[in-house]
């Protein structure tokens, strides 16, 4: 059985499904109408205006009553999709789930075909990291009603898997000798999960800036009106990034142990090692600024987006731009 071919088919399927999910999430955005924080409704309530027939006739009723208007307020959940668009969001989420299953199957079959863990080149790293990013989104969507994060996540997944299958793809091959270590396995798993959390945090920060700008202009409507408050977006961005930091710290430490095993030294300022440390410093600065200097809002969001840029440059850019001991991208 050609497991490599089935893996390729599964990844192409995942790519297509992520693309379709992105378009359906986009349709949900496009169809969304403004959901105001407070909706004013007018109802008619009878009121006695007189006991005589003349008074009743003057009031326009036969029983001596008229109707006065009563204004009532109904609070609307800002995180709830407007009626008529919710079905598109549910359909998009279901398609995303199926796409994620195809991603998992494609990644697993790649490992079966290679008789090793599927993390030997940039193609395999990319499909694995996208798998963790989408998994994190699905957990947040189902447990914390964060389906509104679907469009940016599926956009990122579509781009990531698209680059993997069209640009980074290499045929199944044996690992280079330096990668034959269990420390390499735990290093990659920790880095991928941490990267997924950093990506979710950065996407939340981007949404924070979009929502904040629309609130300040007084133009919050449509899909943006479904988002939580800027305060909650900022808090979730912090939580996800903070959750990824210990894992990234462990990944850097495990990488150092692996380097000692593979090359006889813990640290050698190889480009990949250097930019892994740069990413760690940026995340540490983000967390430190929030906890000690009180950085919240726009400044913290911008720093969170810098984490996103640093992660992907370290993940992909270093392999393409620099040469070093980690130059096994295969492209």
Read off the tokens for 268: 């050698």
Sign of the CA dihedral running 201, 206, 211, 212: positive
Helix (H) or strand (E) holding 89: helix 86-114
What does the pLDDT read at residue 131? 97
Of 91-95, 182-186, 224-228, 312-316, which range is least confident? 224-228
Residues 134-160 pLDDT 10s = 999 999 999 999 999 999 999 999 999
Mean pLDDT to the nearest integer, 223-247: 91
Which one has a higher pLDDT value, 181 or 19? 19
Residues 55-65 pLDDT 10s = 444 444 444 44
What does the pLDDT read at residue 329? 54
DSSP state of 66: E
Of 98-107, 123-132, 220-229, 312-321, which range is least confident? 220-229
What does the pLDDT read at residue 221? 67
pTM of the model: 0.82
Closest CA to 195 of 316, 317, 321, 308: 308
What does the pLDDT read at residue 69? 43
Closest CA to 130 of 158, 169, 106, 165: 158
8 A C-beta contact, residue 248 and residue 194: yes
Read off the tokens for 220: 């919050």
What does the pLDDT read at residue 269? 81
Rg (CA), the chain: 27
Q: Is the pLDDT of residue 51 over 80?
A: no
Distance CA 292, CA 279 (A): 20
8 A C-beta contact, residue 197 and residue 243: yes
Calculate what percentage of the chain has a pLDDT beyond 70.
79
Question: C-alpha dihedral over 266, 268, 270, 273, to 10 degrees?
Answer: 40
Q: What are phi and psi of 60, to 5 degrees?
A: 85, 15
Helices (H), 1-52: 3-31
Of 34-43, 58-67, 320-329, which range is least confident? 34-43
Q: What average pLDDT does the structure give for the chain?
A: 82
Read off the tokens for 297: 């809002």
**HSE, side-chain direction, 13 A CA sphere, residue 47:** 9
Distance CA 301, CA 134 (A): 21
Q: Is the pLDDT of residue 326 over 90?
A: no
Of 56-65, 76-85, 241-250, 322-331, which range is least confident? 56-65
* 227: alpha, beta or left? (left if phi > 0; alpha if psi -120 to 50): beta
- 17 pLDDT band, cuts 50/70/90, is very high
Residues 281-299 pLDDT 10s = 999 999 999 888 778 888 8
What does the pLDDT read at residue 151? 94
Distance CA 161, CA 204 (A): 21
Read off the tokens for 66: 């008229």
8 A C-beta contact, residue 183 and residue 177: no
């Amino acid at each position: 059985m050609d497991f490599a071919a089935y893996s390729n088919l599964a990844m192409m399927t995942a790519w297509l499904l992520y693309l379709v999910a992105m378009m359906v999430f986009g349709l949900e955005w496009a169809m969304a109408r403004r959901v105001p924080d407070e909706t004013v409704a007018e109802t008619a309530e009878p009121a006695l205006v007189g006991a005589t027939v003349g008074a009743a006739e003057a009031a326009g009723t036969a029983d001596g009553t008229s109707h006065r208007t009563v204004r009532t307020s109904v609070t609307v959940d800002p995180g709830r999709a407007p009626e008529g668009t919710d079905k598109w969001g549910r359909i998009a989420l279901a398609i995303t789930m199926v796409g994620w299953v195809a991603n998992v199957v494609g990644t697993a079959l790649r490992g079966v075909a290679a008789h090793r863990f599927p993390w030997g080149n940039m193609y395999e790293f990319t499909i694995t990291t996208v798998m963790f990013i989408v998994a994190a989104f699905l957990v947040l969507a189902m447990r914390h009603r964060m389906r509104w994060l679907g469009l940016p996540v599926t956009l990122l997944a579509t781009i990531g898997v698209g680059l993997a299958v069209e640009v980074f793809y290499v045929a199944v091959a044996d690992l280079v000798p330096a990668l034959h270590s269990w420390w390499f396995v735990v290093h990659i798993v920790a880095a991928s999960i941490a990267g997924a959390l950093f990506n979710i945090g950065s996407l939340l920060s981007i949404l924070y800036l979009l929502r904040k700008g629309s609130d300040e202009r007084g133009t919050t409507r449509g899909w943006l009106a479904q988002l939580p408050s800027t305060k909650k977006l900022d808090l979730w961005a912090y939580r996800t990034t903070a959750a990824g930091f210990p894992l990234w710290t462990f990944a850097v430490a495990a990488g150092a142990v692996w380097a000692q095993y593979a090359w006889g030294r813990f640290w050698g300022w190889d480009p990949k090692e250097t930019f892994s440390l740069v990413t760690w410093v940026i995340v540490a600065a983000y967390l430190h600024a929030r906890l000690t200097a009180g950085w919240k809002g726009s400044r913290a969001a911008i720093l969170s987006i810098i984490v996103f840029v640093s992660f992907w440059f370290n993940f992909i850019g270093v392999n393409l731009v620099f040469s070093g001991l980690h130059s096994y991208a295969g492209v």
